[in-house]
Amino acid sequence: MKKRRTAAVVLAACFVFTIGTRAQNAGFAEVLKKNRGIISVQDGKLAGPGAEVLRTALAEAQFVALGEDHGIRQIPEFAAALCAELAPHGFHHMALEIGTYAAPELEKMARSADGAKQLAEFERKYPETIAFYNWQEEFRMLEKCESAASPGHMTIWGLDQEFMGATGFLADRILGTNPGPEAKAAVETLLKESGEARAAAVQSGNPGDLFMMTAKQEELDQVRELLKKQGKPEAQKLFEAWLLSREIYQKNMSGDYYQSNRQRALLMKKNFSEPFAASSQSNGVLPKVFFKFGAYHMFRGINPLHSSELGNLIGEAAEANQFKSVHILIAGVKGEQLHFAGIGKPPEAAPLDLAGDKDSPFLFFKPLFDALAENSWTLYDFRALRDGFSKYGKIDPELERVIFGYDFVVFIPDPKASHVIH
């Protein structure tokens, strides 16, 4: 959950806040204790007093947004338990922080008996194409969510840009549309150059050496024109998705973080709005959707990056249509977390201590850390804190942002690092 500047981890979208150290009054501490509850996952189900509070809110929801810190193995267990709660209420759509074109591949795997094996093979062929769900616990969650949706299916919508290593995957998809001879040759050249760039990136460990970042714009412009002349619309769309991902990454890597984040946020909103509208029009029923993204993306209102993102869109859409969205933040407190270690290198477990690290950017959570249930997961219900909020006195503005941006927060006292699929 530390702030990182590389293109690889900006997609992880871990939430990072500026700290203001202001004292909250005793009345605030008391209301926190009154609105907390123990929650756990037992045999794949939500359990404990906190679960009952959350369960009541979920039953009324059209959208459920889970904002997470990535790389913690207990979080997909919690997400799978949410699927078990939501499926009986008609939730058969999951929106994930993966590329639009990668999503159908992942959906097929989640529905297959040997899906984990298929995913491992996909990873070997197309590394750095699927973010997060090449981790064991995350993929197991997808399988459980698919099972919960039975006898129907769980449809997966990928709302993010394509991941940084997706060149080979997208190029093969373009070639599969049978473009004309010159366009085909040009795409095959890109595919060859992509392999060479990845070999260099493996040597350096630097995602900036991947072809998505190093490709020459003049060559890409030529391929685009050839596909317009000799390619089908699907091939053109695939290449435009690649170019857009490249643009977002390059802005980030050049230090233009705000514009990169805003462009990415707008893309996520577009990638949600289009299938949501199409699904609604096909049968006249608004789909109920479970979202699982990094915590920045699921905020109502303006997030800590000064951006209104997907979470705000679905919150506003719910209000405009007179239904409800439920926003849940989940994070670990002290333990370990899986971190990116470089291109071609397996992610590594790293220490995590939000409450105890003197340099932690999450010290504004201190009132919540102080009131945690001992040796248990703790759920805080923020909804009761909002009316008359000013009576609590000086509240850190970043904590205030979270209280109004999320309905619930769940803290895991002993986070453990996720495992990579092999």
Task: Give the pLDDT means over successive 10-residue stretches in the chain (422 positions).
Answer: 39 37 67 96 97 96 97 98 97 98 98 97 97 97 97 97 98 98 98 97 97 97 98 98 98 95 98 94 88 97 95 97 96 96 95 90 92 95 95 94 98 97 88
| CB distance 10 to 297 below 8 Å | no
Q: What element of type H or E holds 201?
A: helix 181-204
Distant-in-sequence, close-in-space partners of 59: CB < 8 Å, separation ≥ 6: 89
Binning the chain into helix, strand and coil, the percentages to the nearest 5 are: 50, 20, 30
Cα 105–chain centre separation: 17
Instruction: Determine how β-strand 288-294 pairs with β-strand 91-99.
Output: parallel
What pLDDT is stored for residue 318 in this prediction? Answer: 96
**Are the beta carbons of 304 and 17 closer than 8 angstroms?**
yes
Cβ pair 242, 170 in contact under 8 A: yes
Tell me what pLDDT residue 360 has.
Answer: 84
pLDDT at 244: 98
Q: Are 20 and 366 in contact (CB under 8 A)?
A: no
Give pTM, 2 decimals. Answer: 0.92
Residues 389, 393, 399: CA angle, nearest 5 degrees: 65
Task: Report how far residue 376's alpha carbon sits from residue 394's, in angstroms, rounded to the nearest whole number.
Answer: 29
CA dist., res. 174 & res. 147, Å (int) = 32
Q: Which two tokens stand for residue 321?
A: 């249509």
Give me the residues paired with residue 306 across strands.
none
